[in-house]
Amino acid sequence: MAQQLGELLQTADWKKEKHVPIIECADNWSPDDFAEVTVTLGKEVAHPNTTEHHIRWIELFFQPEGAKTYQVARFDFTAHGESAKGANEGPVYTHHEGKVRVKASAPGTLYALAYCNIHGLWQSSKDITVG
């Protein structure tokens, strides 16, 4: 029997595991202002960014308390040193980090998903308050 997608999501302490997305933002948001949210990974333990091993994308979601989940942003990383000359010979690389400004009128939870081309799906979350 096939597993549910949620059963495939991996998580760990981002200070020890390079694949866990890190959500950085204020804990308390004003309902009238946009809050800056940065999502990255590999802050304490660097993640490679090579043709063979890289983060392909990060997605950010928000779930207000007692409501459905909303997709906030998707960041695609498509340059990892690939080239006709060979792997890691390309002239450009992207860093796995995204920033977005978000306004919320209710408290809830931010969720981040990151996809490593070798190690699969990783998740993290951060609660925010509004007031």
CB 63 within 8 A of CB 72: no
Mark whether 44 is an active-site residue. no
3-state secondary structure at position 5: helix
* Active-site residue flag, 80: no
Task: State the pairing for strand pair 22-24/35-40.
Answer: antiparallel
Of 7, 24, 43, 47, the active-site residue reads 47
Assess whether 17 carries a catalytic annotation: yes
Active site annotation includes 68 = no
- CB-CB contact of 23 with 124 (8 Å): yes
Contact 101, 37 (CB under 8 A): yes
* Number of Cβ within a 10 Å radius of residue 57: 16
- The active-site residue, picked from 19, 54, 80, 96, is 19
Active site residue 54: no
Separation between Cα atoms, residue 1 and residue 57, nearest integer Å: 28
Catalytic residue among 25, 59, 96, 116: 116
Q: Does the annotation mark 116 as catalytic?
A: yes
Q: Which of 24, 36, 44, 53 is catalytic?
A: 53
CB 37 within 8 A of CB 60: yes
Judge whether 96 counts as a catalytic residue: no
Point out the residues that are catalytic.
17-19, 47, 53, 116, 119
